[in-house]
Amino acid sequence: MVKYMIVYDGLKTDFLKSCESDSIAIEIEENILNKLGKHTPKAEFRSWENSLNYMYKVMNDPNIPCDAGVAIEYSIPQTSKRVDFIVSGYDNNLEPNVVIVELKQWDRITEVPGVDALVETFVGGSNHRVVHPSYQAWSYAQLIKDYNSSVQDKKVLLHPCACLHNYIRHANDPLDSKWYSDYLEEAPAYTKGQLDQLRLFIKKSITKGDKKEVLYFIEKGKIRPSKSLQNTIGSMLNGNREFIMIDEQKVAYEEILRLSELCQKDYQKRTIVVKGGPGTGKTVIAINLLAELTKKDQLVQYVSKNSAPRQVYLKKLKGQMKKSSIDNLFKGSGNYTEAGENMVHTLLVDEAHRLNEKSGMFHNLGENQIKEIIKAAYCSVFFIDESQRVTMDDIGSISEIEKWAKEEGSELHYLELQSQFRCNGSDGYLAWLDNVLHIRDTANYDLEGIDYDIRICDSPFEMRELVIERNRNTNSSRILAGYCWEWFKKEQNNTDYHDIKIGDFEMSWNLGNGEPFAVSETSINEVGCIHTSQGLEFDYVGVIIGDDLRYENGRVVTDFTRRAKTDQSLKGIKGLYKLNPEEAQRRADEIIKNTYRTLLSRGMKGCYIYCIDKNLQEYLKKSLERKTRKD
């Protein structure tokens, strides 16, 4: 297990001396190279010089003890994140205290209404959504509190804050928007001209120096989930009917539990592949394991490439609670590019078919997400359905998992979930989809005897009315569509702008503000795509099949040229088509059909379909005629 690591530590006097000699950034750069084996980009080096010169002014106060501890770039292994600046010491009651300072170079931000803890600012050469600095500071403090045994046992008090020393604050500033009030209360944000207030924040908690003793406690602390974290996630799960396991789900859960605990006894790496189609309960098992393994003192995380399942299941656990330490249990699949060997006890990877090779905003980080996940954990669990790979970047396959498990010396185990709990428990409906979409031949040419409400609608208006009616009492029905209409970022929060137009019918793609599409009360007025619905389930869905799927000359055909230009799922397909048309067509065929198979299997009780292509509409209607006559 990788230990906590402080890149730079010293007394306040050491820090001030290094700043005065202009060597502080050089010392940190050398320590990162020696301790982490990493070279520092020039931009990061300059940011240290700017931010740490500001912290020099803050710390140059006679009432901050000279022998207080100072730590810079403190690595938290389970996130591969680094805390910018720490001051340690004792308060008036001689209790150990730590002040955590998150440093930002930003000079402007834009609030993101309705989305928890996100702001928009200029980073990495363009505007991006990132977490509010107060949330970042709070979440780092919460991670240390929840997982560091020394902090728990010695009752170290943590005080997070953010420092935006280039940011000029105004009245009604977006930094102080009501959306962020909970986090600002936990971790105040100090801006340009507020040096004295930041000093007061530090001096309130640090009145006596510790000669780095508290820093030593923290760095040597073992990784162990706190009792409060264990109790929190346990209480959230208890009585939550959405996460009750039945039949073979419970069997798989117990076997994964056994293997995971075995890893902690014999220190043998194990990789578990859990194969299961839509609605077999993969996520239910993963969430239950997340809670139980945390209660067993493991560092365990739920991982997915797509943010939608993480956001929705976190919301379902938290209910109306805004902030909770369990936020840190849910991670993106790109979090492990710099992870150390066996950094985590168990990683639970949901929707493993969606994993990518590279990580990061520009797909330029790391080597391979599957390899990095297996390397980072003693026990890695991959929940996978290979027929749900829906983009050119999706590399998640059983063979790929096997390849990297063997390279990392990880013992392989296999489980399979077969019982269908979606689509009214009907494996027949999924088989019918495979057959009717010409994905594979099955025995299900019709839906005779299957209790599932499926209708082929003559107009998008008819489809929408059916879904709205089903949604009235439960808020668990949604309209979905293939990605055949452009999505314009500048209109993402404008409910009056309608991306999808079919004759007189108009609707917007799901908006960028507010709660996740799957749980928001207003989402019934929007259309979701594969990226906002995969891995989730609804009572009923309405699906608009775009012009990328048609019926011609007795065959269901795909046409990647009808996909929206803003869709990244088939990025690179045109270049591949020029080099190898046959392979390009095969890849596009698989992705487009998998996309619609996934959309059409999101409904537990029913699915209402409208097709742009009238030939496809008639073909689907005819495939239902026998069921209609029987009914």
295, HSE (Cβ side, Cα atoms, 13 Å): 14
Tokens 């040229």, residue located: 561
Rg (CA), the chain: 27
CA distance 600 to 595: 9
Q: Is the dihedral of CA 535, 540, 544, 545 positive or negative?
A: positive
Say what the pTM is.
0.88
Tokens 């790496």, residue located: 269
Edge-first strand listing for the sheet containing 500-502: 453-456, 603-611, 538-545, 477-481, 526-528, 505-509, 500-502
CA distance 35 to 27: 12
Tokens 């010392």, residue located: 27
CA distance 384 to 98: 42
Q: Residues for the chain: how many in total?
A: 631
100, HSE (Cβ side, Cα atoms, 13 Å): 28
pLDDT at position 628, please? Answer: 47
Cβ–Cβ < 8 Å for 506, 498: yes
Write the pLDDT tens digit of every residue in 136-186: 999 999 999 999 999 999 999 999 999 999 999 999 999 999 999 999 999
Q: How many CB atoms lie within 10 A of CB 38?
A: 11
Beta strands in 209-310 (DSSP E): 270-276, 300-304
CA distance 494 to 248: 45
229: Cα separation from own chain's centroid: 19
CA distance 352 to 346: 15
Write the pLDDT tens digit of every residue in 213-263: 999 999 999 889 999 999 999 888 887 888 889 889 999 999 999 999 999
Between CA 355 and CA 71, with CA 373 as vertex, the angle to 5 degrees is 120
Element (H, E) at 157: strand 157-164
User: Residue 589 carries which DSSP code?
Assistant: H
CA distance 324 to 144: 14
User: Residue 365 carries which DSSP code?
Assistant: B
Residues of the chain with pLDDT under 50: 1-4, 628-631
pLDDT at position 630, please? Answer: 47
Token digits of residue 552: 């011609």
Residue 179: phi and psi, rounded to 5, are: -65, -20
